[in-house]
Amino acid sequence: MKKVISLILMGCGGVGRQLLQHIVSCRPLHAKQGIHLRVVGVSDSKSFVVAPDVSTMELADNSLLQLCRIKSDGSSLHTLAASGQVEVFTDSESTKKIIDVAALLGKSTGLALVDCSASSETIPLLTQAVDLGCCIVMANKKPLTSTMEDYDKLISHPRHIRHESTVGAGLPVISSLHRILSSGDPVCRIIGSLSGTLGYVMSEVEDGKPISEVVRSAKTLGYTEPDPRDDLSGMDVARKALILARLLGWRINLDDIKIECLYPKEMAPGVMSVEEFLGTGLLLLDKDIKERVSKASLSGNVLRYVCVIEASRCEVGIQELAKDSPLGRLRGSDNVLEIYSRCYNDQPLVIQGAGAGNDTTAAGVLADIIDIQDLFP
């Protein structure tokens, strides 16, 4: 008997669009596995496209691919309304309609809300959906790094939530930690490079290149956000560290994490434009980073931007590490995570691989959706 997983996708940026393309291209594989992913709605920050009757209908594959093209072109989802095959809701109507669909399907056929946005505005929707019996799958880090109240609500039914792609894209970080913790093996230390951008930057400056040149190069290669300070602030790594710390049972917030920002407050987005930062601001960072690289090198060490979670310490920033350690050997934009526990004490569990990219992240999200199939009738 075929297992049908109904879902709503929130967020159709790079990861969301890639996920829809994966869903369509994997139809033959999923049919062999006896699974059908029924996409009943897709939303962005302004609109919600939904099947006219979510109980019996779904968004056709050609509509999903057309939606991807429309978003890639920067156009509005409202243009899909002309096809007559879908209904389109906007602004506050979108939120109300998503909740209506969640109420209808959550406790009958089941429904997965898949959050591939980068917004905190999905949090009220997700917390309501939990009460309506829905499953939650996330690539978006913000809901899990909100208040402890929101976090507790989201994880109140642990079997109903998957969020592998919030840390390390498609790497099996969350599932590995769950397995270790479920076995009663206490985790005493986690250290990792969890930003593909900062991993690339630190391994390049190790070769003697100025950080100004490396950041500009990373931007050209598409490794950074449009404003590289979004990466250099360390906030993305801090959110990932918070998700891992909370998984270990730490009841802390973002404010409790010590974060090393790689630029001074005089170069903050509200003070200096992106153009100024890339033009003159970055050059002012070269001297300090070069001196730190040289100092580490004298001790046979290298610099890496990492998160450290141990004892009562949770912090992110530049650390000196042994050149022959898994983190010291890191090159390019890969992620590396070392987990130390009673069983993994002298030799930590090391997870390494591509930790960024729309394709990798979307693949992780798709695997999470398939993983909840047993919760659907």
List, as residue ranges, the binding site: 11-16, 141, 225
> How far is C-alpha 79 from the geometric centre of its chain's CA atoms?
29
- Asked whether the beta carbons of 67 and 13 are under 8 A apart, the reply is no
- Asked whether the beta carbons of 376 and 4 are under 8 A apart, the reply is yes
Nearest C-alpha neighbor of 13 from the set 36, 37, 43: 43
Nearest C-alpha neighbor of 243 from the set 177, 193, 330, 156: 177
Only one residue has tokens 């630190």, namely 202
Nearest C-alpha neighbor of 165 from the set 307, 13, 337, 360: 360
Taking every pair of Cα atoms in the chain, the longest distance, rounded to a whole number of angstroms, is: 68
- Asked whether the beta carbons of 24 and 17 are under 8 A apart, the reply is no
Please pick, among 97, 142, 240, 287, the residue that the annotation labels catalytic: 240
Q: Starting at the edge strand that comes first in sequence, how are the strands of the sheet with 3-10 ordered?
A: 87-90, 47-50, 35-43, 3-10, 112-115, 135-138, 161-162
CA distance 365 to 359: 10
The helix (run of H) or strand (run of E) holding residue 106 is none
- Asked whether the beta carbons of 17 and 66 are under 8 A apart, the reply is no
Annotation marks residue 258 as catalytic: no
Nearest C-alpha neighbor of 138 from the set 150, 96, 100, 336: 150
CA distance 282 to 259: 19
CA distance 361 to 367: 10
Nearest C-alpha neighbor of 255 from the set 245, 270, 265: 245
The helix (run of H) or strand (run of E) holding residue 68 is helix 61-72
Annotated binding residues for NADP(+), as ranges?
A: 11-16
Nearest C-alpha neighbor of 81 from the set 90, 92, 93: 90
Instruction: Give residues with Cβ within 8 angstroms of 64, minimum separation 6.
Output: 20, 23, 24, 39, 42
Only one residue has tokens 């917390």, namely 127
Tokens (6 digits) for 77:
């989802």
Q: Please identify every residue annotated as catalytic.
A: 240
